Structure 1
Amino acid sequence: MTITLSDENAARTARKSKDARAWTADRIVVHALLIFFVLLAIGPILLVIMNSFKTTPAIFGGPFDPPTIKTFGIDGYLRVFTRGNFLLNYQNSLIVTVVTIALTIVTATLAAYGLVEYKVRLAPVLGGLFIVGIMLPIRLGTVPILEIMISWNLIDTLAALILVYTAMSIPIAVTLMVAYFRTVPTELKEAARIDGAGEFRTFLIALPVVKPGLAAVATLTMLPVWNDLWFPLVLAPSKNNQTVTLGVQQFVGQFLSDYPALLAALTLGAVPLIVLYVIFSRQFIKGLSQGVGK
């Protein structure tokens, strides 16, 4: 029995059609699961934000209903800003987060560059210590940290939070930046040195190559610093130095029965973090994926 060319083409076309249908079915399943998990993640957040713009009877009468002309209200936000201290809380959180990110990036990039460039015997040991620093939770050292801050007269100051958060962020930042600096072409650094550039100038020339890593470090530092409650409660509990997370926690304790104000406070505490993550999520994912891949 002879198989003609047209029969082979028909069989090949049938196989391609079958593979395309299977691939389409797989995509539908994957996208359905992704949509489900996205809704599961953002659903409670949207519910809190939506109900923060409603009156108390409307919240209990229809918690899943969107605000209407009759149920819309901003009294909760007005009570938050008149009775709370959120503007100062935002200012404190912004100062702590921005300064911590800057210090972490500067120290981590310099340390990572040194570990990659200078082949000394202690380099593997120092790299291992940074990895150990990632595994050990810093909250285990709360008592010694508190004693150090008291001895330095830094208790109940934003400087105490900045120092602790910088120390907490450096291990993972150095580990990530080491992976990036290893990808910098040796020819680029040698050419800079041949042209007479010093080590610091060579470091600045190599820095643009690792920009995705800097974005990933900034995002990794920003999220836990902005969202932390433990160290602001221990090291800076006064009203003048409260961060947003601590301010929200104390406001919630005082206005537990005022649901519009409660939901407004939770929204004000969460929305800035969500917005910042959405803005920098692409750089964050790109930085981590490239760092792992390289």
Structure 2
Amino acid sequence: MNKARRNPLNTAAAHLILLTYTVIALFPVFVILINSFKTRKAIFREPLALPSAETFSTIGYETVFKQGDFFLYFQNSMIVTVCSLFFILLFGAMAAFALAEYRFRGNTLMGLYLALGIMIPIRIGTVAILEMMVATGLVNTLLALILVYTAQGLPLAVFILSEFMKQVSDDLKNAGRIDGLSEYTIFFRLVLPLVRPAMATVAVFNMIPIWNDLWFPLILAPAEATKTLTLGSQVFIGQFVTDWNAVLSALSMAILPVLILYVIFSRQLIRGITSGAVK
């Protein structure tokens, strides 16, 4: 096994496969970026061509910054995404630790109940959610979106993290208890560092749907002050006329944060996905 890993041919083949998948995955992003710097006619005539001296234009970015408060939309999306991921990881990890560590009557049923949200889409309860937000006065607030996205992401987080929590050595946790550590200290200092790959996997799987979601921002927070980036971009899409320059420019700027966060979590993500697959 060690000889195979050190073989230059195997390493080169792995790098080639990785490069191929990267090119395929980033090609749509590349097309959006190059078309965001082209005139409207050039977008439809030569969508795959690079911007030239004749077709280069920044009218899309100028429109985005003039029409609507792009930085406010960006800030709202960032606040909602970061806060939702924080609560998903915190509460999901705590619930997963309890299910994996403590044996009690109804443990299995509780795990199935927490994982039920994976099979039942939260959008089915949109009307009930809207009624709850209206009753509590949370409509047109970022808190409403954070609560909904946290509830949406918890089932997957509990399902994934509970399996990783079970793999943490019992000897390590018992040694901490012998040393007088509290359960919270064991959880935060001993267990969480060991399940970072799983945490990164959960974060990435939840980050993209939250950042790109249009449904709940349109229903729960459509006010100008609480619009997210995806909802704010819909200003440029009309029933009869669509400003494709502005749409592509807004999408280009919206893609960058997701790419940056993906690069940050990529190594942990790969470790989390492949953990246990290769011994």
> Match of 1:176?
160
Greater alpha carbon shift after TM alignment, 91-100 vs 242-251: 242-251
1:181 Cα offset (Å): 0.9
Structure 1, unaligned stretches of length 5 or more? 1-22
Write the letter of the residue equivalent to 1:269. A
**Are residues 1:78 and 2:59 paired?**
no
Q: Which moved more, 1:214-223 or 1:224-233?
A: 214-223
Which secondary structure state, in structure 2, belongs to the residue aligned with residue 53 of structure 1? coil
8 A Cα contact 1:256 1:262, kept in partner: no
Alpha-carbon distance in 1 for matches of 2:278, 2:83: 30
Q: Distance in 2 between matches of 1:286 and 1:121?
A: 33
Query: Residues 278, 207 of structure 1: CA spacing in aligned structure 2 closer, same or farther, 3 A cutoff?
Result: closer
After superposition, what is the alpha-carbon deviation per residue over 1:253-278, rounded to whole angstroms, capped at 9, x for unaligned? 38944332232123223343234324
Unaligned runs of 5+ in 2: 1-8
In the alignment, residue 252 of structure 1 is paired with which amino acid?
A: I
Structure-to-structure mapping, 1:54-133, within 5 angstroms: 54-133=38-117
Counterpart for residue 274 of structure 1: 259
Aligned AA (1:238): A
1:250 to 235, 260, 265: 235
RMSD of aligned alpha carbons:
2.7
Alignment of 1:159 with 2:143, yes or no, is yes
2:214 to 213, 229, 245: 229
- 2:32 alignment partner in structure 1: 48
- Per-residue CA shift, 1:209-248, capped at 9, x if unaligned? 1111111122122111101110001100011100011111
Structure 2 Cα separation of the partners of residues 69 and 273 of structure 1:
30
Partners of 2:165 and 2:195 within 8 A in 1 = yes
Paired with 2:40 and 2:121, the residues of 1 have a C-alpha distance of 41
**Structure 1 stretch 195-204 or stretch 145-154: which is displaced more?**
195-204
| Cα pair 1:47 1:64 within 8 Å, conserved | yes
Deviations along 1:169-212, whole A, 9 cap, x unmatched?
00110111111111111111111111111211221222211111
Is the partner of 1:54 in helix, strand or coil?
A: coil
CA distance in 2, matches of 1:90, 1:255: 27
Q: CA separation in 2, counterparts of 1:34 and 1:125?
A: 44
1:165 and 1:33, CA in 2 relative to 1: closer, same or farther beyond 3 A?
A: closer
SS of aligned partner of 2:115: helix
When Rg is computed on C-alpha atoms for both structures, the one with the higher figure is: 1
Moved more, 114-123 or 157-166: 114-123
- Residue 251 of structure 1 contacts residue 265 of structure 1 at CA under 8 Å; is this kept in 2? no
Match of residue 285, structure 1, among 255, 270, 275:
270
Work out whether 1:210 is the aligned partner of 2:217.
no
Letter in 1 for 2:121: P
How far apart, in 2, do the equivalents of 1:94 and 1:165 lie?
A: 13
Over 3 Å counting, the alpha-carbon distance change for 1:61 and 1:143 in structure 2 is closer
3-state DSSP of counterpart to 2:233:
helix
Q: Is the 8 A contact 2:145 2:216 kept in 1?
A: yes
Q: How many Å separate the matches in 2 of 1:235 and 1:292? A: 41
Q: Is the 8 A contact 2:196 2:268 kept in 1?
A: no
**Is 1:186 paired with 2:179?**
no
Identity %: 45
CA–CA distance in structure 2, aligned partners of residues 291 and 151 of structure 1: 46
User: Greater CA deviation, 69-78 or 127-136?
Assistant: 69-78
CA contact (8 A) 1:86 1:247 kept: yes
Residues 116 and 33 of structure 1, relative CA distance in 2, 3 Å threshold: closer
The AA in structure 1 aligned to 2:118 is I
The change in CA–CA distance for 1:56 and 1:236 in structure 2 (over 3 A counts) is: same
